[in-house]
Chains A and B, each alone.
Chain A
């Protein structure tokens, strides 16, 4: 956060956003807008969480090498979105989270959503996509120990991530279309999204089983060779 020069103010904001502002926005929003405009509240919360994460990343002294590797993975995700039907973006995000840590996973997921949407169409859903993909990478980072050891677990995580991504994005679809959340529309949206959900699950499982081992070898080699 370069805009705010004062260090104490920056620290205050970093504490205030997750513990004060986000709950306040949620509660006040639901009271003020009469359960109607959930979309605005959810957008505001998504944007605030992304902002919070950015602020945390800015503060840390991340090495140049690490940052460049994150950029490389983001570019690979971006390029991967051009493959028809199969989307390696979640699989690559999970791999980055597993081997480079949760923060890197979050950044790779959210930044590739932001960047590739400049090609595939930017919209209010960008914030949600960034958050959804970022969280997939972040949790992969948290679960990196068991995921690295057990291959079956990794495949299951990929499948669950595919379904979860679709479900999160459908919540957003319903909120945008109707005022407030409606279960009938949500089920209908999930139904129409079924082919996409299937393609997410298939591509996650496929790319994870194809790419997990080579990537671990390559990243391990880089770590040994250059001591990242």
Chain B
């Protein structure tokens, strides 16, 4: 088995859209809690105890989002207390907590997704969709470091010629604008030269190939099939109304039957899938190390 980040990007993307799609689609509190906990757990499994500042930021955002709804909306029948002549209701508070759990959970999942989806994987996926678009994207990605390098070169030469000074703000802005202008002229000309060189070497004659090849192996197919199957079970439970939960005017829900419980279990399994894969790989690695 490979690490989750080494699996085929297409399978990983489908997985992420399944998890976040269900989280955004339903508003059933247990599913939201599972999505939030799973997202946090996966992020911590991948990053350890680093990224403390983003955890703090998410915690703050959670509090703000959860507090926003009871302050803005006064629906609901159970009044907790009255603030500035506005009733704060239990239902609105619960609704705010539920929405905040959903949003923060999805944010955590996308954080991990952004870490896993490196630029070459993005190019692999867009390449399947449209090779031309993938070419534009890959060139733009390459240009960003190139431009910053070139702008440093331009700045150095301008300073050496005595044309750039940052004594006061007006001179500074003027100098920066000149550097930017020179950079753009250079970038456009360089782009045309690149394009001509590409045409001369036969770009567009046959299909484009990728630098890194991703193939569908057994693990990828397994991940794809498992995530689609588990999503289908949860979606079935959702669409048949087994996992309904309404907040207004009073909290009302029906106890989930067999299918509803299956849906919750399937979603929990789906959310825990990458954590299981990562743990299995690390255990295996440890075991192999200890045998040496």
B63 proximal to A (CB < 8 A):
no
**Contact at A79–B148, with CB atoms within 8 Å?**
yes
Does A30 make an interface contact (CB < 8 A)?
no
Judge if B147 is at the interface, Cβ distance under 8 Å. Answer: yes
A123 at the interface (CB under 8 A from B): yes
Whether B79 sits at the interface, judged by CB under 8 Å, is no
Mask: chain B, 69-99; 1 = CB below 8 Å from A; 0 = not? 1001100000000000000000000000001
Of the candidates B27, B130, B140, B203, the one whose C-beta lies within 8 Å of that of A1 is: B130
Tell yes or no: A75 within 8 A of B by CB: yes
**Known contacts A64-B198, A68-B194, A79-B147; A57/B189 CB under 8 A:** no
Interface status of B192 (Cβ within 8 A of chain A): yes
B130 touches A40 (CB 8 A): no
Over the window 190-226 of chain A, the binary record of Cβ atoms lying under 8 Å from chain B Cβ atoms (1 yes, 0 no) is 0000000000000000000010001100110010001
CA gap between A114 and B261 in the complex, in Å: 38
CB contacts (< 8 Å) of B111 on chain A: these are: 121
Which of A132-140, A157-165, A174-182 lies at the binding interface?
A: A174-182
Q: Is the CB of B192 within 8 A of A226?
A: yes
Closest B residue to A67 by CB, please name it: B136
Which residues of A in the span 116-160 have a Cβ within 8 Å of any Cβ on B?
117-118, 121-124
Would you call B25 and A64 a contact (CB within 8 A)? no
Q: Are B113 and A57 in contact (CB under 8 A)?
A: no
Cα A40 to Cα B69 in complex, Å, equals: 21
List of A residues within 8 angstroms of B132 by Cβ:
57-58, 62, 67
Which chain B residues in 176-201 approach chain A with CB under 8 Å?
A: 177, 181, 184-185, 187-189, 191-192, 194-196, 198-199
- Do A57 and B133 touch across chains, with their CB atoms under 8 A apart? yes
Q: Is B181 a contact partner of A76 (Cβ separation < 8 A)?
A: no
Q: Is the CB of B65 within 8 A of A177?
A: yes
A185: chain B residues within 8 A (beta carbon): 72-73
B144 partner, pick from A43, A54, A78, beta carbons under 8 A? A78
Cβ contact within 8 Å between B106 and A71 = no
| A76-B147 CB under 8 A given contacts A2-B128, A64-B198 | yes
Answer whether A118 and B72 are a contact pair too, CB < 8 Å, given A67-B135, A68-B195: no
Contact B195 A218 (CB under 8 A): no
- Interface check A13, CB cutoff 8 A: no
CB of B143 within 8 A of CB of A72, answer yes
A45 interface residue per 8 A CB criterion: no
Give the complex CA separation of A5 and B187 in angstroms: 36
Q: With A58-B132, A71-B139, A177-B65 given, is the CB distance from A118 to B122 under 8 Å?
A: yes
Closest to B127 in A: A2
Once A39-B24, A65-B192, A79-B148 are accepted as A-B contacts, the answer to whether A121 and B114 lie under 8 Å apart by CB is: yes
Known: A71-B136, A78-B144. A123 touches B191 (CB 8 A): no
A188: B residues at CB distance < 8 A: 68, 72
**CB < 8 Å neighbour of B203 from A40, A55, A64, A76:** A64
Q: Evaluate whether A122 and B103 lie within 8 angstroms (CB atoms) in the complex, with A65-B196, A68-B139, A218-B188 already known.
A: no
Cβ–Cβ contact B110 & A111, under 8 A: no
Q: Are B117 and A118 in contact (CB under 8 A)?
A: yes
Chain B positions within 8 Å of A71 at CB level: 135-137, 139-140, 143, 191
Across the interface, do A111 and B192 meet the contact criterion of CB distance under 8 Å?
no
User: Given A71-B143, A188-B72: A76 and B187 within 8 A (CB)?
Assistant: yes
Considering the complex, give the chain A residue whose CB is closest to the CB of B203: A64
Chain B residues with Cβ under 8 A from A72's Cβ?
A: 140, 143, 187-188, 191
A115 CB within 8 Å of chain B: yes
- A45-89: which residues lie under 8 A (CB-CB) from chain B? 51, 54-55, 57-58, 62-65, 67-72, 74-76, 78-79
Inter-chain pairs besides A71-B139, A228-B192, 6 sampled, C-beta below 8 Å: A68-B195, A72-B188, A75-B140, A78-B140, A177-B69, A185-B72
- Between A and B, 23 residue pairs with Cβ closer than 8 Å are A3-B128, A36-B27, A40-B21, A58-B132, A63-B195, A67-B139, A68-B194, A68-B195, A71-B137, A74-B137, A75-B140, A75-B141, A75-B144, A75-B147, A75-B187, A78-B140, A111-B137, A115-B140, A117-B114, A121-B107, A123-B110, A182-B73, A188-B68
Interface residues of B (CB under 8 A from A): 20-21, 24-25, 27, 65, 68-69, 72-73, 99, 103, 106-107, 110-111, 113-114, 117, 119, 122, 127-133, 135-137, 139-141, 143-144, 147-148, 177, 181, 184-185, 187-189, 191-192, 194-196, 198-199, 203-204
What 9 A-B pairs have minimum CB-CB distances, sorted nearest first? A75-B143, A71-B139, A74-B140, A68-B195, A68-B191, A65-B195, A64-B195, A75-B140, A58-B130
